[in-house]
């Protein structure tokens, strides 16, 4: 059984100085390619469904794809809800079998954000589900969530410390200067802020807006305490281009399975490259054994 909560997963990643790749699937094949890539790399992986994807397919369909793939995996696999804003959707993820959920109330005042996060933690704790919450506001476009440049703001380290003291999060999404989607200018990542929040909270941090950050920036963020790196936009481009490129090199091919194979191979290549970049290679079986041993005690 390799369905794992992000809580033990990211504690181990933080301790050992690497990050777990978190990808947003858009269909069954992209979800499968994530697990195939993770197994090839012997690495843990986080499959994170957006709210939009859940609304499109429904909780039950997504979980019915995920469960057999993850159960047969030899590496730890988490099913996570990315940027949950709808409390009913979050509760249903916990009830259906997601191993972690994000409550994103970052657009609410601090006290209200804390209050709804506490409610989600109460539901999640009953089922051993990990929770991610956000403070500050991460800019850019993430599915249906649009945060304009003028509304995006960095997390305050005092707030971050207080937030993480009041709730026991599996992972903390503090706004540290990254943004969702491709960057239009130079990303302005606040490394000192990551270091300070990491030191003051002791909680694994999530790096949102992973698409378009160069390797050096990502490596620095991981070294400073980011234990989960999110990639969505990059995947969407590879998903679409996988089809288009196959058509360009094989005009006249109307066998859909050839397109699906080409798309799968392109996605798998991306996932392997990201897992390697974030340092997860070779960490899967040892992490699984460590978590299973702790849970058995």
Near ligand 13P by CB under 6 A: residue from 209, 242, 279, 284:
209
Q: In angstroms, what is the minimal distance from the CB of 257 to ligand 13P?
A: 28
DSSP state of 27: S
Q: Rule CB under 6 A: say whether 132 interacts with ligand 13P.
A: no
**In b/e form, how buried is each residue of 189-227, taking b as 16+ CB within 10 angstroms?**
bbeebbbbbbeebebbbbbbbbbbbeeebbebbbebbbb
Q: In angstroms, what is the minimal distance from the CB of 95 to ligand 13P?
A: 23
Q: In angstroms, what is the minimal distance from the CB of 23 to ligand 13P?
A: 9
Q: Are 278 and 218 in contact (CB under 8 A)?
A: yes
**SS3 state of residue 226:** strand
Number of residues that bind ligand 13P (CB under 6 A): 14
CA 132 – CA 221 distance, rounded (Å)? 18
Q: Rule CB under 6 A: say whether 217 interacts with ligand 13P.
A: no
Near ligand 13P by CB under 6 A: residue from 49, 53, 233, 263:
233
Q: In angstroms, what is the minimal distance from the CB of 180 to ligand 13P?
A: 4
Q: In angstroms, what is the minimal distance from the CB of 208 to ligand 13P?
A: 3
Structure-token pair, residue 204: 């694994």
- Give residues 43-82 in contact with ligand 13P (rule: CB under 6 A): 82
Q: Is 82 a catalytic residue?
A: yes
Neighbour-count burial of 27, counting CB atoms closer than 10 A to its CB (0-12 exposed, 13-18 middle, 19+ buried): middle
Q: Rule CB under 6 A: say whether 83 interacts with ligand 13P.
A: yes
**SS3 state of residue 169:** coil
**SS3 state of residue 46:** strand
> Mask of contacts with ligand 13P, 240-279, x by CB under 6 A?
----------------------------------------
- Give residues 159-198 in contact with ligand 13P (rule: CB under 6 A): 180-181
Q: Rule CB under 6 A: say whether 228 interacts with ligand 13P.
A: no
Residue closer to ligand 13P (CB basis): 38 or 173: 173
Quote the crossing angle between the two packed helices 284-296 and 28-41, to the nearest 10°: 90
Q: Enumerate the H helices of 23-149 as residue ranges.
A: 28-41, 51-57, 59-71, 87-96, 110-126
Q: Are 204 and 227 in contact (CB under 8 A)?
A: yes
Catalytic one among 16, 27, 82, 192? 82
CA 155 – CA 135 distance, rounded (Å)? 6
Near ligand 13P by CB under 6 A: residue from 39, 64, 217, 234:
234
Near ligand 13P by CB under 6 A: residue from 132, 134, 142, 277:
142
Near ligand 13P by CB under 6 A: residue from 4, 81, 152, 231:
231
Other beta carbons less than 10 A from residue 139's beta carbon: 22
Q: In angstroms, what is the minimal distance from the CB of 145 to ligand 13P?
A: 9
Where on the chain is the footprint of ligand 13P (CB under 6 A)?
82-83, 142, 180-181, 208-211, 230-234
As annotated, the active-site residues are 82
């Amino acid at each position: 059984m390799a369905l794992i909560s992000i809580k033990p997963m990211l504690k181990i990643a933080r301790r050992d100085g690497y990050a777990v790749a978190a990808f947003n699937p858009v269909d069954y094949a992209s979800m499968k390619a994530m697990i195939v890539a993770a197994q090839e790399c012997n690495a843990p992986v986080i499959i994170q469904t957006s709210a939009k994807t859940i609304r499109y397919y429904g909780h039950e369909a997504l979980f019915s794809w995920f469960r057999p793939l993850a159960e047969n995996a030899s590496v730890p696999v988490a099913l996570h809800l990315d940027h949950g804003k709808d409390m009913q959707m979050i509760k249903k993820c916990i009830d259906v079998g997601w191993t972690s959920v994000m409550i994103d109330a970052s657009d609410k005042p601090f006290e209200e954000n804390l209050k709804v996060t506490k409610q989600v933690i109460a539901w999640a704790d009953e089922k051993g589900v990990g929770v991610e919450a956000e403070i500050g506001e991460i800019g850019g476009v993430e599915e249906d969530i649009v945060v304009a440049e003028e509304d995006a703001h960095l997390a305050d380290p005092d707030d971050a410390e207080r937030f993480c003291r009041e709730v026991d999060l599996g992972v903390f999404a503090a706004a540290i200067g990254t943004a969702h989607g491709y960057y239009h200018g130079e990303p302005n990542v606040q490394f000192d802020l990551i270091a300070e929040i990491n030191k003051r909270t002791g909680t694994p941090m999530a790096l949102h807006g992973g698409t378009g950050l160069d390797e050096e920036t990502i490596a620095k963020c991981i070294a400073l305490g980011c234990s989960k790196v999110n990639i969505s936009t990059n995947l969407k481009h590879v998903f679409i281009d996988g089809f288009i490129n196959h058509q360009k090199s094989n005009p006249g091919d109307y066998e859909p399975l050839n397109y699906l194979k080409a798309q799968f191979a392109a996605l798998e290549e991306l996932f392997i490259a990201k897992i390697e970049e974030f340092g997860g290679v070779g960490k899967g079986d040892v992490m699984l054994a460590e978590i299973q041993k702790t849970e058995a005690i």
